[in-house]
């Protein structure tokens, strides 16, 4: 007896996702908070993500394709995969964004795909949500000054998400090696949030020293921010991973990661410290989900220097994409594809 294939899936373009309020932070803060709590309760499955590098010996650290599979449990269970490619010189050489991505969602009951989504928007916004969640637990209450190193697409998502979530922010410092990029971002942010004072810093040191919350959003392949520049009480969201010198990790009062196994690999700075015997799982303060779930404390003193070093987790993408998919079904968005 033959089985008639009548299965369909939903395709959601970047415009579809934007129409579903996919450029607003609330969706992602809710979805990522849920994913982190489930991660702390071990209600997720997340294999270590493989990196595909065509020229691993000589290529730039940002030149890779990553496969990120995950299953998120709980009330809205979903499985899936983010397939994300990146070339550091895409903006300059090809007039394209540095990273591109697709997210495939699979119904965990049958393992059939139910949706394919443009993934770069979701990926960038869920990364911004990680910073927001980190700031809620790890920054000083009522912080007013944010500094961002690197002024590309990801930086904009970080800034907008923080400004949407924290009304106390009144001063923004921007630094980029490309002065045009920082000027362009300052103009865009200034139009949308005229209440915020924006300074384009002449040096990265100026921006770093001024920060209560510091965000790294570069494609740096080697550290360039030393501990000596960090002011007491700073919360650092080290989303681009390679910007901080080793002494920042060793001098910080608390180091937090999203997932220890994911963070301790790929020859990143934290991994290097572990290999050298200078850092360990025991020295780590917590995984972010443990703090969100209330199992471990966040900030305890005003003068603590706290580093969040998130490698990025597939469960964040799948949880966020599942929320977008749920909204799309409810509002009739997207294009139906038949297999």
Question: What positions carry a catalytic annotation?
Answer: 82
List % helix, strand, coil for the chain (3-state, nearest 5).
Answer: 35, 25, 40
Please tell me the distance from the alpha carbon of residue 50 to that of residue 182, in angstroms, as a whole number: 33
Please tell me the distance from the alpha carbon of residue 255 to that of residue 287, in angstroms, as a whole number: 9
The three-state secondary structure class of 10 is: strand
- Residues 182 and 175: beta-carbon distance below 8 Å: yes
- CA 15, chain centre distance (Å): 21
- Residues 78 and 108: beta-carbon distance below 8 Å: yes
Nearest to 134 by CA among 12, 316, 278, 322: 316
- CA 253, chain centre distance (Å): 22
- Residues 189 and 181: beta-carbon distance below 8 Å: no
């Amino acid at each position: 007896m033959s089985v008639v294939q009548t299965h369909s899936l939903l395709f959601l373009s970047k415009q579809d996702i934007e129409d579903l309020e996919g450029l607003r932070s609330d969706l992602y803060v809710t979805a990522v908070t849920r994913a982190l709590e489930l991660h702390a309760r071990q209600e997720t499955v997340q294999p270590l993500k493989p990196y595909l590098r065509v020229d691993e010996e000589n290529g730039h650290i940002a030149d890779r394709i990553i496969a990120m599979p995950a299953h998120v449990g709980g009330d809205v269970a979903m499985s899936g995969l983010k397939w994300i490619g990146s070339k550091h010189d895409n903006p300059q050489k090809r007039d394209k964004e540095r990273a591109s991505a697709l997210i495939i969602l699979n119904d965990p009951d049958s393992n059939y795909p139910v949706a394919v989504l443009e993934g770069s928007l979701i990926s960038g916004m869920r990364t911004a949500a990680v910073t927001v969640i980190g700031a809620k637990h790890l920054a000083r209450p009522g912080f007013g000054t944010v500094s961002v190193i690197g002024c590309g697409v990801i930086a904009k998502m970080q800034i907008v998400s923080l400004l949407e979530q924290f009304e106390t922010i009144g001063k923004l410092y921007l630094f980029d090696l490309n002065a045009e990029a920082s000027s362009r971002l300052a103009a865009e942010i200034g139009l949308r949030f005229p209440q915020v004072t924006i300074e384009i810093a002449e040096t990265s040191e100026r921006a770093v020293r001024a920060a209560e919350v510091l965000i790294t959003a570069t494609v740096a392949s080697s550290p360039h921010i030393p501990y000596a520049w960090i002011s007491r009480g700073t919360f650092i969201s080290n989303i681009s991973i390679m910007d901080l010198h080793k002494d920042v990790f060793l001098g910080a009062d608390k180091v937090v990661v999203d997932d220890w196994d994911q963070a301790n690999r790929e020859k990143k700075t934290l991994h290097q410290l572990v290999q050298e015997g200078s850092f360990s799982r025991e020295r780590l303060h917590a995984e972010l989900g443990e703090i969100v779930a209330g199992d471990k404390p966040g900030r305890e003193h005003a003068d603590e220097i706290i580093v969040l070093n998130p490698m990025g987790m597939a469960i964040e993408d799948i949880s966020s994409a599942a929320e977008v998919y749920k909204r799309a079904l409810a509002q009739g968005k997207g294009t139906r594809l038949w297999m």
